[in-house]
Amino acid sequence: MATVKWAVWGSCGIAKRRTIPEGLVPADNAELVSVYDVDAQANAEMADKLGITAAASEAELLSSAADAVYIATPAYLHHEHVLAAVKAGKHVLCEKPLGMSNDQAAAMIAAAKSAGVQLGCALMMRFSSQHQAALKMIQDGKLGKMVYARAQLSCWYPPMDNAWRQNLSQGGGGSLMDLGGHCVDLLEMLLGPADKLACFTNNSVHGYESEDSATTLLNFASGAMATVDTFFCVPDTSSKNALELYGSGGSILATGTIGQGAAGQMTAYLSDPNAAYDADQARDAAAGTPIAPDPVNMYRAEVEEFSAAILDKRPAAIDAAVGLRSQKVLSACYESARTGKVIQL
């Protein structure tokens, strides 16, 4: 099988925890050849463990034999690093957010197009086999007309020195930017585009600069509504990372599918949308139908899909347009939180 040679820019965060060991190393059509990080010692240890080159500089990384670069540096560096990588003729898979503003994201897209290279955004939760199964059920009409959804993602993230997500100029936002991007993107995959929203942000517990709490109400062009709740101030064991999808013909309720793991618990509760009114409003205690397709490692899936797009010379499934859309919705969320207004998309 043909392979794409990869380099990693920012090897010591999510790349070290997930994308390298679960995505780039086992992927059938990818070969990791070089890594670079400002933490030279940790980067060298990573390279030595994998038997690959530890680039001593950004320039050395970009002059490597890599065809594609995975950028996993802090959010405020994405714009600069993407522009440098595409100028070097590399295809780029960039962690979200694609940029710190809509203009930055648009400039990154324009630069990639001019250079004739692919630019993708790492919104890996779209690859979950359970999320894809839920999407098919919705598309097949199993839930009837979609009415409402909820996506929740939280973690305990107390104040820490040099934590860029807690600094507005470096992260662009807090729990909404970091966690909400995945939730909103997932809901738009399932329900189609949102057309207006209202958002509230707060520092409920932690006193750092970015928000530790955010809730967003979304209205979709289809008529469905949804809420997204994301928090940096809820203990990990207390939040079940719920995904709830409700339609006129039933629901899909899940815990743990939103997150970094390959699978959670997902159950469908289907009924007759033409049923008569029940004055007793009885709730059947019978179990629903589990939705448990074979788990898919989302990091490997995103690497293999992006590599396939390069090899096949076709647009990536999660291309830069998806990343720009995510950036635009998040920007509207922060505008709503700042102004107290409902924002049209």
pLDDT at 277: 84
pLDDT at 274: 81
What percentage of residues in the chain have a pLDDT greater than 90?
94
Considering the chain, tell me which residue range(s) the CATH 3.30.360.10 domain(s) occupy.
129-261+263-296
Report whether 35 contacts 58 (CB < 8 A): no
Considering the chain, tell me which residue range(s) the CATH 3.40.50.720 domain(s) occupy.
4-125+299-319
Q: Which two tokens stand for residue 5?
A: 């040679």
Tell me which architecture the domain covering 4-125+299-319 has in CATH. 3-Layer(aba) Sandwich (3.40)
Q: 194-214, pLDDT tens digit by residue? A: 999 999 999 999 999 999 999
Confidence of residue 280 (pLDDT cuts 50, 70, 90): confident
Rounded Cα–Cα distance for residues 50 and 259 (Å):
26
HEC string of 113-145 equals HHHCCCEEEECHHHHCHHHHHHHHHHHCCCCCC
State the average pLDDT over residues 145-154. 98
| pLDDT at 42 > cutoff 80 | yes
State the average pLDDT over residues 138-162. 97
Residues facing 259 on adjacent strands: none
Regarding pTM above 0.85, the answer is yes
Helices (H), the chain: 14, 40-50, 58-62, 78-87, 102-115, 129-139, 168-171, 175, 181-191, 298-312, 320-339
The count of other CB atoms within 10 Å of the CB of residue 48 is 10
| pLDDT at 273 > cutoff 70 | yes
| pLDDT at 151 > cutoff 80 | yes
CATH of domain 129-261+263-296: 3.30.360.10
Confidence of residue 285 (pLDDT cuts 50, 70, 90): low
State the average pLDDT over residues 24-38. 98
Q: Which two tokens stand for residue 324?
A: 């720009």
Report whether 245 contacts 269 (CB < 8 A): no
